[in-house]
Amino acid sequence: MKIKAPTQHKKLIQWVQEMARMTRPEKIVWIDGSEEEKKKLEEEAVQSGELVRLNPKKLPGCFYHRSDPSDVARSENLTYICTQHKSDAGPTNNWMSPKEAYKRARKIFSGSMKGRTLYVIPFSMGPVGSSFSKVGVEITDSIYVVLNMRIMTRIGQPVLDQLGSDGSFTKCMHGKADLNIGHRLILHFPEENTIWSVGSGYGGNALLGKKCLALRIASYLGKREEWMAEHMLILGIEKPNGQIQYVAAAFPSACGKTNLAMLVPPEGMKKKGYRIWTVGDDIAWMRIDTDGGLWAINPEAGFFGVAPGTNSKSNPNAVLSIQKNTIYTNVALKPDGTVWWEGADGEIPEEALDWRGKPWKPGLVDEAGNPLRGAHPNSRFTAPISQCPSISFRLEQHHGVPISAILFGGRRARLAPLVMESFDWNHGVYLGATVASEKTAAAEGVVGEVRRDPMAMLPFCGYHMGDYFKHWMDMGKKLEKQPRIFHVNWFRQDKDGQYLWPGFGENLRVLEWVLNRCEDKVAAVKTSIGYLPNPKDIDTTGLSLPKGALHELLSVNIQDWRAEQEEHEKYFKQFGNRLPTEMWRECHSLKRRLG
Ligand code: OXD
Ligand code: MN
């Protein structure tokens, strides 16, 4: 197939030709990123039923999409790291040899775009032209993917211009094929800077800039090029003195990263003079800059957030961000052309179409008697970050923002205190490496079961996790100004299973302590697990905590921690001799301190 391309980049044109020979599309369209192009694609997708135009008065510029019911979440079991040597993928990743991977995927891709259009999307993760940024080119046969990538990344001609005739880029090959789960593979070739994803139209599997490039491939590149790609939100905290300090925070999926990233200060804190600025809600790329400190950008340009539970109380800024130019996926569709999900603002609709397109009303139950949900629990909104009322003015800055503190956290009902500070960088890395979250009733598996999720990167680290820990330790050595590292737990419960901490906007009270520690403004209590706050240093003005709650939130049960430390030891064994000795040292020091 002869290609008319808006670029002189020979390797790019050759690659597109090669992929077209394999998939046999009817035509090839290069995405330029223009408004006219967007309108045309929306129209086409509405005509084919891929998108539904939502009520233009109530939700202007918004669209609705249903994915295949078997294709509503990331497919971790079908996600592979394809390195020459199995050992380089490590024990926490699925591995396939590149040869086998290409062979299997090629079979599925072959002829799969017959009668369809192949779109070529040049995109930049990070501001176009920044030395922090990376260029990718995604090939796809899905208009839904094109329109989502348009929101989530910077796309089109400016990116091709940036790439020039020989710039390097990540090859991102995507095709829906027949959406059959048996024909689904999400393959990463870090050694070739290439991704092949076939058989899924779901965000995390199909918007290849996000988890596939910005985390799995980028973490590998970061190790090679001495920077870090992390599953972290970034937020700026403007203090009463007008200074803004930036914090990056990693939590496993479904622990409220989006909520924290755009938190609204509670009344008292607002009065004190606090304000929050959102830089990113999911991914941080961090480099050591010329000042010897750690600087971060958000490589994305949009939010791909979970809809259920999002309302004006839990996340007012998210609600304001998704009133226009938003794509809603797998939520419930109301007769007036608006959308709804469990935990949305307003009345529960009397009738709607559910995420599978079936008539739905409150009170419906399945065969087992469980309530039928209108929206899928993993239903999503895709919205431009520029629409967020708390958007940081530094979003387009090529060097991003300087990071003062790094936070790790998970859901721990009993064990971890509300907040603690590490003794130093290596101990902080240890806190990150031992992050765990307990399953909630919403997730599959046994309630309370602990899943270790180092740095919240378990499904996203593109290489051996032991080498990744080593990279963290090495970055600490290279940093002249190390951010302080903390562990937080918003989810601690009392004996009766009631949450002890109100969470949401009130979390700013904990962030205030974190910043005070960064500036050595408050002392802390040295315990065997880290530095903990003196209760008086957490501002609880205007908060009606149950009696004794703060004391309990900051208590350390030595017996429980001894058991926890033993679990760390067991967990670390799987990494063999690729676990850095510094990590064992931290593990043994904890044991010694616990007595
Ligand atoms: C996400 C995730 O979608 O972490 O951001 O699963
Ligand atoms: Mn995420």
Ligand 1 atom nearest residue 252's Cα: 4
Please spell the DSSP secondary structure of 74-118, one letter per residue: --GGGEEE--SSGGGT-TTSEE--HHHHHHHHHHHHTTTTTTSEE
Residue 245 lies in a domain: yes
Q: In what order do the strands lie in the sheet with 63-65?
A: 52-53, 63-65, 327-329, 380-384, 302-306
Q: How far is the CA of 20 from the centre of ligand 2 (A)?
A: 31
pLDDT digits (tens, 9 = 90+) for 418-465: 999 999 999 999 999 999 998 765 545 566 789 999 999 999 999 999
What is residue 441's predicted lDDT score, i.e. its pLDDT? 57
Ligand showing the shortest atom-to-Cα distance for residue 75: 1
Q: Is the CB of 316 under 6 A from ligand 1?
A: no
Q: Is the CB of 265 under 6 A from ligand 1?
A: no
CA angle 539, 544, 549 (to 5 degrees): 80
The residues with which 138 forms a beta bridge, in sequence order, are 121, 172
Q: How far is the CA of 473 from the centre of ligand 2 (A)?
A: 23
- State the CATH number of the domain containing residue 421: 3.90.228.20
Residue 440 lies in a domain: yes
Q: Coil, helix or strand for 297?
A: strand
Mean pLDDT, the chain, integer: 96
Ligand 1 atom nearest residue 253's Cα: 4
Q: How far is the CA of 280 from the centre of ligand 1 (A)?
A: 13
Residue 573 lies in a domain: yes
Q: How far is the CA of 161 from the centre of ligand 1 (A)?
A: 31
Q: How far apart are CA 49 and CA 122, in angstroms?
A: 26
Q: How far apart are CA 142 and CA 144, in angstroms?
A: 5
Mutate to test the pocket of ligand 1, among 212, 232, 253, 310 (most ligand atoms within 8 A of CB): 253
Q: How far apart are CA 209 and CA 105, in angstroms?
A: 19
Ligand 1 atom nearest residue 231's Cα: 4
What is residue 208's predicted lDDT score, i.e. its pLDDT? 98
Cα distances from 364 to residues 361, 370, 392, in angstroms, run 6, 8, 43
φ, ψ at 181 (rounded to 5°): -60, -25
pLDDT digits (tens, 9 = 90+) for 154-194: 999 999 999 999 999 999 999 999 999 999 999 999 999 99
Residue 451 structural domain: 230-298+395-593
**Residue 327 clears pLDDT 80, i.e. is over it:** yes
Same domain, 133 and 257: no
Same domain, 446 and 550: yes
State the total domains in the chain.
Answer: 3
Q: End of a domain among 389, 421, 455? A: 389
Q: End of a domain among 335, 369, 389? A: 389
Q: Is the CB of 282 under 6 A from ligand 1?
A: yes
Mutate to test the pocket of ligand 1, among 211, 215, 461 (most ligand atoms within 8 A of CB): 211
Q: Is the CB of 204 under 6 A from ligand 1?
A: yes
Mutate to test the pocket of ligand 1, among 67, 72, 74 (most ligand atoms within 8 A of CB): 74
Residue 37 lies in a domain: no
Q: Is the CB of 127 under 6 A from ligand 1?
A: no
Q: End of a domain among 206, 225, 244? A: 225
Residue 325 lies in a domain: yes
Residue 5 lies in a domain: no
- Rounding to the nearest 10 degrees, give the CA dihedral for residues 326, 332, 337, 339: -50
- State the CATH number of the domain containing residue 363: 2.170.8.10
C-alpha closest to that of 417 among 501, 474, 327, 542: 501
Q: What is the mean pLDDT of residues 268-291?
A: 96
Instruction: Decide which of 255 and 192 is more confident.
Output: 192
Q: How does residue 256 score in pLDDT terms, banded at 50, 70 and 90?
A: confident
Q: How far is the CA of 282 from the centre of ligand 2 (A)?
A: 5
Same domain, 182 and 125: yes
- Rounding to the nearest 10 degrees, give the CA dihedral for residues 584, 585, 589, 590: -30
Same domain, 357 and 278: no
Q: Is the CB of 253 under 6 A from ligand 1?
A: yes
Same domain, 220 and 235: no
Q: Coil, helix or strand for 318?
A: helix
152: left (phi over 0), alpha (psi -120 to 50) or beta: alpha
Q: Is the CB of 326 under 6 A from ligand 1?
A: no
Q: How far is the CA of 300 from the centre of ligand 2 (A)?
A: 12
pLDDT digits (tens, 9 = 90+) for 455-506: 999 999 999 999 999 999 999 999 999 999 999 999 999 999 999 999 999 9
What is residue 1's predicted lDDT score, i.e. its pLDDT? 62
Same domain, 448 and 561: yes
Catalytic residues: 255
Q: Is the CB of 252 under 6 A from ligand 1?
A: no
Residue 580 lies in a domain: yes
- Residue count of the chain: 595
Same domain, 109 and 187: yes
Same domain, 284 and 384: no
- Rounding to the nearest 10 degrees, give the CA dihedral for residues 85, 88, 91, 93: -90
- State the CATH number of the domain containing residue 125: 3.40.449.10
Same domain, 434 and 527: yes
pLDDT digits (tens, 9 = 90+) for 36-60: 999 999 999 999 999 999 999 999 9
Residue 4 lies in a domain: no
Q: Is the CB of 300 under 6 A from ligand 1?
A: no
Strand bridging mode 359-360 / 339-340: unpaired
Q: How far is the CA of 578 from the centre of ligand 1 (A)?
A: 27
pLDDT digits (tens, 9 = 90+) for 209-240: 999 999 999 999 999 999 999 999 999 999 99
The residues with which 403 forms a beta bridge, in sequence order, are 246
Same domain, 319 and 464: no
C-alpha closest to that of 173 among 5, 33, 12, 381: 12
Residue type, 237: I
Same domain, 474 and 564: yes
Nearest CA to ligand 1 atom 1: 253
Same domain, 118 and 210: yes
**Residue 144 clears pLDDT 90, i.e. is over it:** yes
pLDDT digits (tens, 9 = 90+) for 85-122: 999 999 999 999 999 999 999 999 999 999 999 999 99
